[in-house]
Amino acid sequence: MGIRKDITDVIELHKEIEETQREIIYKMGEIAESRSNETGNHVKRVAEYSKLLALLYGLDEKESDILFTASPMHDIGKVGVPDSILNKAGKLDENEYKMMKKHCVIGYNILKNSKREILKAAAIVAMQHHEKWDGSGYPRGLKEEEIHIYGRITAVADVFDALGSDRCYKKAWENEKIFELFRNEKAKHFDPKLVDLFFDNIDKFIEIKNKYKD
């Protein structure tokens, strides 16, 4: 009986440590977003969209949960970008845009040396969520399946949420305008399979959007 209780206690402690780790990661994602005056609900929605897409794509429950926890860290590198750029109401000039694009590498460098599976995934997401299917993205110009599936999924989730939300430089887009962009950017910005899954399950994405309104 004593051994069984000890095993149960160890399992419960392990679960508690995992939950604490997840909460810390999530809060770090919220901190990064708050610097550019974005709400915590942005990272909640991106996490939910990412897990949904991961499951629809065929990733197993464990991998989908890893991405759910890691995806809120996609913009952690913004901690290294000046407030004047993050919160600029108008269009960024060439030098400001170059600085903004550095957030991918900054985020990767923050996370890359961790031995934790979730933080390794978060490093991939931070580095690759602005890569594009046709190779025109940044920071490395990766294309198609050179981009990790975590990066491809988070790209869809992040853009869908960003376009549908108010930002300091723009008003939220209507759903139909967002859908038109996704149709046009299939196999350009986005993995075509993910775009098909997005449209085939659009009601589920809208449900998440409505559940976590700003």
| 159 vs 124: CA distance, rounded Å | 17
Mean pLDDT taken over the chain: 89
pLDDT at residue 90, as a whole number: 84
Q: Does the pTM exceed 0.75?
A: yes
Q: Average pLDDT of 135-152?
A: 98
Per-residue pLDDT tens digits for 77-113: 998 999 899 888 888 999 999 999 999 999 999 999 9
- Show the tokens assigned to 81: 């970008």
Q: Average pLDDT of 130-151?
A: 98
Q: Is 62 a catalytic residue?
A: no
Q: Average pLDDT of 35-58?
A: 86
Q: Average pLDDT of 26-36?
A: 65
Which residues, 6 or more positions from 67, have their beta carbon under 8 angstroms from its beta carbon?
50, 51, 54, 59, 121, 125, 150, 153, 154
CATH code for residues 2-211: 1.10.3210.10
Per-residue pLDDT tens digits for 180-201: 999 999 999 999 999 999 999 9
**17-26, 71-80, 179-188: which has the minimum mean pLDDT?**
17-26
Residue 106, Cβ neighbours under 10 Å: how many? 18
- Show the tokens assigned to 123: 């490093």
Active-site residue (options: 44, 51, 78, 186): 78
- Strand ranges for 168-211 from DSSP E: none
